Structure 1
């Protein structure tokens, strides 16, 4: 048993290295992959960055510009260093990141814990420290770290966790040596080994599944998994459900077919579940409706709540019995706390208009016996006061996002116990009250 004990201690040492203060809140920004994949130039990417400034996305908080795969030459140079592709970056990578910084963006970059990236470019296995130095010298401070082309087990003898620890240690060592802010690390492990259990030990976010696709069935499948792991999210630790596909995805992936209501549901769920919000759609060509969805200040302020780090979580499945695994119909009734009130998200997963009802006391964050003011985070209106329950009509695959704040004791004359507690409600003498 001794070798396993020693290995566990080594992992534990690396695990604490990333408790370093970066990435407290979910990352907001832009990712190049779903639009361009490998087909881009620096000028095209800067066009997207300028569009984000011009259309208010930077001001709304989307301040990370994430450069994904395919930015380098296929082979390292004679010194073993990664070299930027001179055709894509004719003025060099430093010039590119400086242009981003001048616009107001932090720069993120991509690498891989294997020999090669997913697209076949140099990976960082065995080169963790030198690659990190290259990335820092180029002007990056955020790293998306993938899991393709990994060495055989008899070479690494480490598994996924151990291969990620190598980069974690490199980040820690560089920060200590240079007295600089550590890199923010986004693990892209795809959920094979349940990173929602251990990812917080190593990075600030972790992918929970495969690549997103811009159609409803893909989003519903991701939310189905999220229904079971929402509680893993907190400050410095975020389930990453992959990119936002709210608008046109461009030439990198098939065109999306989300309706307006589906796009609202996508953005609302990702934001309130506190996933990183990295836009994977063409912002230069985005519609007015797409920009309005992405810049919803009421929803974004829950994502970026400085005092409450937990995600919303289901309190009832709705379409299915609770805890049913159904990729087409995830949990529909969600709640959580925030600095601004109790959050409710109700999601209609059916392809038909529905009336959807819930008791307020189904939410753990509600105080039973109180009335609540209702604020709608999409209409941005105060919608009166509710007592005990609510009924909402939602369009197919539509969503509502509500903030409830205390409005004082509920009116006299109601039954003495809310429905959720009625079966065990008792008076001081142990008798049951009459309803």
Structure 2
């Protein structure tokens, strides 16, 4: 059996859903269909999830919601009417949208989670109705009925391991089960959403739970590319990559998957196939535990992200001070802050953070507390910081990759702020200024792919 997941662009309209229907019909093994909320139909359009966020905010602030409610209903109505779904099946969807503000929520964070989750929940109900109307033996399966239970964090929930035993009961289904992505329920029955890439996470969870032979993730591109196509025209497509390569690249900004999204599939060693809804016959990209290295391309992919900042501190004889690292890490732990990297010298130390964890006030607090704890000669935050990742399983068997990369960047007059090679030797990380990041990616691509 196969689990297949469709992103928002694949479900944005009745025309797109017709393609999804054809894909499901083309392979009888495709029994578990994970759906996102309807995405953008064209440039300038608004995703249903964004409309629901607006709806939630207006509800919280007691503002008029008629316009946004109508806009959300219109999106589902267009899809339903495009397949002649009976009004008796559409009316409950429309009523659920109207009644969202009338439900009881623990607080506004749970309200926001529930509003957002209904983009997927209602779309899954609608897609199941469309499948039935088209003659398929399909039904909607709610995450609660499937047995998915998550931790009590409304906007960053984690699956509870016992859920996999419940999901296993749905293995080898004769029906096509249409399941909403992005959310599940805590032990109190409240809706909690996953983090970024939530529908991808749901797909991987279902794949592991039913022990699928393959998890097909349908997007709007023919494959995963070696570099961001907005930076390089017609970049090389990646035919195969490992889970480790995918996670390294996702961490540094690859937009196909959030870096945590595939963990359930990785844990059960399920091959993932990224394919194009608009071009389903294309082979796409296979992601699996191992692959044969390509001797001509030691580098698999290049990515960059500007969502980082750094804390620099300098202190004479820093390397001789016993317990200094512990003092700093204790302060970070007390504020529930994780760090990404910590390159150091004999007299200085740089701590790199995901800047989404920080606020200006928190940065001032950290500087003050660390200054009190270790009395540095100099300490400050820097936000003009991007990280580049050069990733490839075959890099560990090649000499001169670092030299080639550094030379390519130097030839483009790009200053390196930080260099770090992972212990696995399949990734090299470069820190550069934000305004150099795109050009640095292009320079590395030319060196290793052109």
Q: Which has the higher helix share?
A: 2
Q: Same fold (TM over 0.5)?
A: no
TM-score by length of 2: 0.27
TM-score by length of 1: 0.28
